[in-house]
Chain A
């Protein structure tokens, strides 16, 4: 691997008329996999194998981190940036590009530009970036629907589990409940005390759940970001998500406690004592 400085000096000394090699930029994953650093010389070709035109020499000018592009996640490919004319030549694409990206000064300009371009378009069409993003993120729509389905199943399952465990735990205290009823404490008071207890447990459980969820989210992001070498956030916890989760778990917890307590307070106290 020869540094550009050495190449330059060699050129000076040898009065070589060979032009300086051009630079390319490679992504972090590629740099790691191929053990490349800035300044390293590599040969590139537009065709694989040996059947093509001689390769060109370039120098690694920069190593960049890929953006958080969901469509690139899980693809084990590398990204390289070349000067446009060089890539056009290497790939035999000629004087063509796949797309132009246009930035305007403000949104009004963008709308006007879009309209003007499409009126004059000759073999191409202009889109807002947002429209393209929606179209290319169909994969993630599928994944997000899948996650939502798993979420719904989890909620249904949790409701059944909660009810089950509440019923069991409240039943464990059937004798206490019988004693209270025999003392003259009303059904409503007994049920209320159980529901309050269930609500407290639900509040504590929700708080613990939020904490667990936050820790799990940290872990998920760190794991998948390292695995796929991307800065993409896989899990994001927002205020509305926390509010929804806490509200749901409170409602389910209280409902389960209420269902369990109603069952028992309706049973005659002596029956609860096994007489």
Chain B
């Protein structure tokens, strides 16, 4: 009977109910977006870091990987030290440099990574072959487009450009053997990779035997923090960053978005609450006489309240479902805006849909729907029956 009465009451004022549901849907969409924003970046970043299973990254002391031009010296020595730890399974040194490729009158510049193809964790081979030969180079779609080149083409690649003398420290002819997608690559950024020895052979002598980054993977079950501490102790000129540390640092830099998410989420929830409570209040004020009669014929206060609260919950639930769809659309739009951050890996999403987040948002809304309905319902159900009937009769 309560459900019947609640449903009938909502249907009685159809346009009002629709408007309220729409209002709650918008609040729900905002709430969902903010819940997605609050945790999306962190989860997205964590997923990205774990793509190839490297749990620890070594960067020059006090820096984040590729944050500065600083490098780690003594690649062989560092590798040997790392190998003494039985928990360390794979070591991938990564050298970074800029290369320049003449195309007609102009030069196309690109970031280049010097890696060991057997252990690299920086790119995914989409087509062709990896850099197994010393004269091989792989490139991403953006670079290939800029060069107007394809797999099998030969490039004149130079590095170590001195703008004053307009000369290069090293030049080589390399053959494009594969098309790749850089896992940490930003949008619209040309990228390439070759064997580390190849790149090393092209740079200034003082840059040889130095890398920008080591990526380290551990054997299954190893304690990440313990390994990280061991590395920090053994290698005082590097900063060892576990995934947890990296995430914490990114969190700190992007804490603004989390705080914004919290504030906007709270405001959305409050507005949704306000809307439902206003609707319920107006609804029960209109039906004061009916409610008094229900009480007069013996319907308990609790049951009257329950029936009214069900109306509030129905609006919240309806709004939440609609809001879920709307929220996903607006999240995509907002994510597209934030993805334009310069240098941000394409794979990072600020708004990541997680079912847990959706359920939290839904639960919050339903709870606020209940809370919004309870007070006006209780007030209405507690009105003195005789006085209310008299007032309604006069009205």
Chain A contacts to B: CB under 8 angstroms:
47-51, 74-77, 92, 122-124, 138-139, 142, 145-146, 149-150, 153, 156-157, 160-161, 163-165, 167-169, 171-172, 175, 224, 227
Stretch at the interface among B23-31, B82-90, B300-308, B352-360: B23-31
The answer to whether B271 touches A123 (Cβ under 8 A) is no
Contacts of A149 in B (CB 8 A): 333-334, 337
Contacts of B238 in A (CB 8 A): 48-49
Docked Cα-Cα span, A218 to B238, in Å, equals 41
Contacts of A156 in B (CB 8 A): 26
Minimum Cβ distance to chain B for residue A269 (Å): 15
Q: Is the interface of A mostly helix, strand, loop or mixed?
A: helix
The answer to whether B333 touches A160 (Cβ under 8 A) is no
Contacts of A122 in B (CB 8 A): 164
Please count how many residues in chain B sit with their CB below 8 Å of the partner chain's CB atoms.
50
Contacts of B16 in A (CB 8 A): 167-168, 171
Minimum Cβ distance to chain A for residue B271 (Å): 6
Chain B contacts to A: CB under 8 angstroms:
13, 15-16, 19-20, 22-23, 26-27, 30, 60-62, 73-74, 162-166, 206, 235-238, 249, 252-256, 264, 268, 271, 274-275, 278-279, 282, 285-286, 330, 333-334, 337-338, 340-342, 395
Minimum Cβ distance to chain A for residue B160 (Å): 14
- Which of A48, A74, A165, A175 is the one whose CB lies under 8 Å from B254? A74
The answer to whether B22 touches A164 (Cβ under 8 A) is yes
The answer to whether A138 touches B342 (Cβ under 8 A) is yes
- Which of B60, B206, B278 is the one whose CB lies under 8 Å from A168? B278
The answer to whether A48 touches B253 (Cβ under 8 A) is no
The answer to whether B163 touches A161 (Cβ under 8 A) is no
Q: List 23 A-B contacts (CB under 8 A).
A: A48-B60, A49-B235, A49-B237, A49-B238, A74-B255, A74-B256, A75-B253, A76-B249, A77-B62, A142-B337, A142-B338, A145-B337, A146-B338, A156-B26, A157-B30, A160-B19, A160-B26, A164-B19, A167-B16, A167-B19, A168-B278, A171-B282, A175-B395
- Identity of the chain A residue whose Cβ is nearest the Cβ of B280 in the assembled complex: A168
Minimum Cβ distance to chain B for residue A51 (Å): 6
Minimum Cβ distance to chain B for residue A69 (Å): 15
The answer to whether B164 touches A123 (Cβ under 8 A) is yes
Minimum Cβ distance to chain B for residue A35 (Å): 18
Docked Cα-Cα span, A157 to B275, in Å, equals 12
Q: Given contacts A138-B342, A160-B26, list 15 more A-B pairs with CB under 8 A.
A: A48-B238, A51-B73, A51-B237, A74-B253, A123-B165, A123-B166, A142-B337, A145-B337, A146-B337, A150-B264, A150-B334, A153-B330, A161-B26, A161-B271, A165-B274
Contacts of A49 in B (CB 8 A): 61, 235-238
- Identity of the chain B residue whose Cβ is nearest the Cβ of A168 in the assembled complex: B282
Docked Cα-Cα span, A165 to B185, in Å, equals 48
Docked Cα-Cα span, A227 to B62, in Å, equals 21
- Identity of the chain A residue whose Cβ is nearest the Cβ of B279 in the assembled complex: A168
Contacts of B338 in A (CB 8 A): 142, 146
- Which of A50, A92, A145 is the one whose CB lies under 8 Å from B236? A50
Docked Cα-Cα span, A156 to B275, in Å, equals 15
Q: A138-B342, A146-B334, A171-B16 are in contact. Are A161 and B61 (CB under 8 A)?
A: no
- Which of A77, A123, A142, A227 is the one whose CB lies under 8 Å from B341? A142
The answer to whether B62 touches A48 (Cβ under 8 A) is yes
